[in-house]
Amino acid sequence: MLENQPVVLETRDLSKSFKGFTAVHNVNLQVRRNTIHALIGPNGAGKTTLFNLLTKFLIPSSGSTFFKGENITSSKPPDIARKGLVRSFQISAVFSGLTVLENVRIALQRKHKMDYQFWHSETILHTLNNEAYELLEHVDLARYAENKAAELPYGRKRALEIATTLALDPEVLLLDEPMAGMAQSDISRTAELIQKAAKNRTVLMVEHNLSVVAKISDVITVLRAGQVLDEGSYEHVSSNPLVLEAYMGKKHA
Amino acid sequence: MLPRAYFLAFLVLLALLPHILYPVFLMQLLCMALFACAFNLLLGYTGLLSFGHAAFLGGSAFIAGQAAKVWGLPIELSILAGTLTGTLLGAGFGLIAIRKQGIYFAMITLALAQMVFFYALKAPFTGGEDGLQSIPRSDLFGIIDLTHEVTMYYFILVLFLAGFLIIFRIIHSPFGQVLKSIRENEDRAISLGYRVDRYKLAAFIISAALSGLAGSMKAMVSQVVSLSDVHWSMSGAVVLMTLIGGTGTLFGPIVGAAIIVSMEHYLGEYLGSWVTIIMGVIFVICVLTFRQGIVGELEQRLIKRKLPLQSQDSTS
């Protein structure tokens, strides 16, 4: 049934070289609507580079990217976000000096076109509070609303990041290692959050934690040395000897 | 937030000061304080370090002086002409520099400001090494005589407060929130769909415009504009004032400006160039011991005492 979903995000022969080193090589990736799609692969496989290419933080050397059939290869990062393709970062990206509530409101401000108003007092932003609290409730952060984001423990920061991203109500969520550096208790909570967020949305995530990937993703693409090694369900890719070899080295395969 | 009581006390103090201290000194202080506040809008609230702000202060001062002395414009229009100059220079600098980040941004603004300096050095109307001297002070709106220094002080105070309130409004506005988010994490702001260059450019132009207002006021107060107003050391001085007082605090730049201007004024005649060394020492102490500046440090201590940390849960 997942195969019947339309393709939302697609790359065609996407490549990126850095001074002769090819980090991503002719990658053809198709992400289907309403799926959780995981990108895995050993260190240096080009996952984060591919991610940065998709969100235009890097410019591809060749190839193209399509979002819902529209060629977005030469779009700029903020414009990608405006189209509904919002990313997170490997290192948690919150606005540390702002409160938890303000963090979520920043995203809402853009959506509600309350970004250039310099003549209004910021109390006008209180009209966004209900929506913001709802989002914080969703990730179990409402009681921290008045705390500075910097004061949150790491796992909570990632939850805040997800709430901020969801505030834009994006069609596609791009999560760059959402579980990196997390304690076990946070991992299961974040996995649940991602599943919750993925309702009626598409999620593409880079993730190292294979047990999480196995549990929540519908499709897994395995990258090795910048190329797609295999793609399919967890059962499928985990039984591929080449995938095992890429992860464990030859002798274990 | 600006607690009303503090602001009122601040107003009363400013209104009474010219009866205690020398008004010309106070006016110069207000000009530099507004300059530092305008600079702080950029450094403290947007996270942009400009090293070319002297061009906006001095460039506007020369045009305001020229307008009053040669074109014969009344004082209010001269100040307006100066402020417009600051705005236009800001737009020019900003369009060229805003896409660059960190040290590159600082260096480009410095280079552009040096071009303004050399233009001021060579252009005939600025008077070169002599500067622009004996700038007349016309009656305000043709009726209020400004030759009396205390009257002039209140005029300058009104302009200062107007500039200060504009900055206050911007900082605590939806736009100000966006600026702060860019300061905190520019990439994240971009990934949320903000075209950050536009907000940074807007903040840069506003900062340049208000620096231009400060420069024009300074020209009318001193009735002299010299090359030191466009010199790079003026760009350095404003960084110093803002850092000592506290970047990203509302009153920090005012406190910083008060310290630096007072030292130059009161110690200058006894200690001569030793003042520069003392300022250097103060700066080093400041950076080493209270990095948030005087006001930043005070605020933090007060907040810590008032608000015990909210309950944290024990996960992770």
Q: What does the pLDDT look like over B180-194, one tens digit per residue?
A: 999 999 989 998 989
- The answer to whether the CB atoms of B315 and A155 lie below 8 A apart is yes
Residue B178 pLDDT more than 70? yes
Kindly state whether residue A244 falls inside one of the protein's structural domains.
yes
Closest among A151, A169, A200, A161 to A36, alpha carbons compared: A200
Q: Do both A75 and A42 map to the same domain?
A: yes
**What crossing angle do the helices spanning B149-171 and B174-184 adopt, rounded to 10°?**
70
Q: Do both A131 and A33 map to the same domain?
A: no
* B65-84: average pLDDT: 91
Can you tell me the distance from the alpha carbon of B118 to that of B112, in angstroms, rounded to the nearest whole number?
A: 10
Kindly state whether residue A40 falls inside one of the protein's structural domains.
yes
> Which carries the bigger pLDDT value, residue A174 or residue A118?
A174
- State how far residue A224 is from chain B, nearest Cα, in angstroms: 27
Give the H or E element holding residue A229: strand A227-232
Kindly state whether residue A167 falls inside one of the protein's structural domains.
no
Kindly state whether residue A224 falls inside one of the protein's structural domains.
yes
> How high is the pLDDT of residue A250?
54
In chain B, helix, strand, coil percent, each to 5?
75, 0, 25
Q: Do both A183 and A196 map to the same domain?
A: yes
> How high is the pLDDT of residue B304?
64
> How high is the pLDDT of residue A1?
55
Give the 3-state secondary structure of residue B245.
Answer: helix
Can you tell me the distance from the alpha carbon of B304 to that of B293, in angstroms, rounded to the nearest whole number?
A: 16
Q: Find the domain containing A190 and state its range.
A: 2-94+173-252
> How high is the pLDDT of residue B27?
92
Kindly state whether residue B236 falls inside one of the protein's structural domains.
no
Q: Do both A146 and A48 map to the same domain?
A: no
Q: What does the block give as tokens for B96?
A: 């060229």
Q: Per the structure, how many domains does chain B have?
A: 1
* Closest CB from B173, B183, B196 relative to A118: B173
The interface residues of chain A toward chain B in range 47-66, judged by CB-CB distance below 8 A, are 55, 57
Query: CATH number of the domain that A211 lies in?
Result: 3.40.50.300
Can you tell me the distance from the alpha carbon of A86 to that of A89, in angstroms, rounded to the nearest whole number?
A: 10
> How high is the pLDDT of residue A17?
86
Kindly state whether residue A84 falls inside one of the protein's structural domains.
yes
The interface residues of chain A toward chain B in range 80-139, judged by CB-CB distance below 8 A, are 81-82, 86-89, 93-98, 102, 105-107, 109-110, 114-122, 124-125
Q: Find the domain containing B67 and state its range.
A: 20-229
Kindly state whether residue A89 falls inside one of the protein's structural domains.
yes
Q: What is the separation, in whole angstroms, between the first and last Cα of chain A?
A: 32
Number of C-alpha atoms within 13 angstroms, CB side, residue B249?
A: 23
> How high is the pLDDT of residue B170?
93
The interface residues of chain A toward chain B in range 193-252, judged by CB-CB distance below 8 A, are none
Give the 3-state secondary structure of residue B114.
Answer: helix
Q: Do both A10 and A85 map to the same domain?
A: yes
Q: Per the structure, how many domains does chain A have?
A: 2
Residue B314 pLDDT more than 70? no
Give the H or E element holding residue A126: none
Can you tell me the distance from the alpha carbon of B60 to that of B54, in angstroms, rounded to the nearest whole number?
A: 10
Q: Do both A136 and A188 map to the same domain?
A: no
Give the H or E element holding residue A111: helix A100-111
Q: Do both A11 and A126 map to the same domain?
A: no
Is the complex ipTM higher than 0.85? Answer: no
Kindly state whether residue B291 falls inside one of the protein's structural domains.
no
Kindly state whether residue A238 falls inside one of the protein's structural domains.
yes
Q: Do both A87 and A137 map to the same domain?
A: no
Q: Do both A35 and A132 map to the same domain?
A: no
> How high is the pLDDT of residue B306?
52
The number of beta carbons lying within 10 Å of the beta carbon of residue B40 is 30
pLDDT tens digits for A174-197? 888 888 777 787 888 888 888 888
- The answer to whether the CB atoms of B316 and A155 lie below 8 A apart is yes
Among the residue ranges A5-19, A38-52, B134-148, the one predicted with the least confidence is B134-148
Query: CATH number of the domain that B195 lies in?
Result: 1.10.3470.10
B307 touches chain A (CB under 8 A): no
Residue B166 pLDDT more than 80? yes
Give the mutation candidate from A85, A120, A122 for the B interface (greatest B CB count, under 10 A). Answer: A122
Give the 3-state secondary structure of residue A29.
Answer: strand
Q: Do both A116 and A211 map to the same domain?
A: no
Q: Do both A142 and A230 map to the same domain?
A: no
Residue A120 pLDDT more than 60? yes
Closest among B315, B28, B87, B305 to B213, alpha carbons compared: B87
Q: How far is CA B237 from CA B113, B264, B308, in A?
A: 14, 11, 37
Residue B308 pLDDT more than 50? no
B196 touches chain A (CB under 8 A): yes
Q: Do both A88 and A100 map to the same domain?
A: no
Strand partners for A216:
none
Among the residue ranges A104-118, B1-15, B83-97, the one predicted with the least confidence is B1-15
Q: How far is CA B189 from CA A107, A147, B1, in A?
A: 8, 20, 23
Kindly state whether residue B289 falls inside one of the protein's structural domains.
no
Kindly state whether residue A55 falls inside one of the protein's structural domains.
yes
- State how far residue B2 is from chain A, nearest Cα, in angstroms: 12
* A17-29: average pLDDT: 85
Cα of A168 vs its chain's centroid, Å:
13
Can you tell me the distance from the alpha carbon of A212 to that of A226, in angstroms, rounded to the nearest whole number?
A: 23
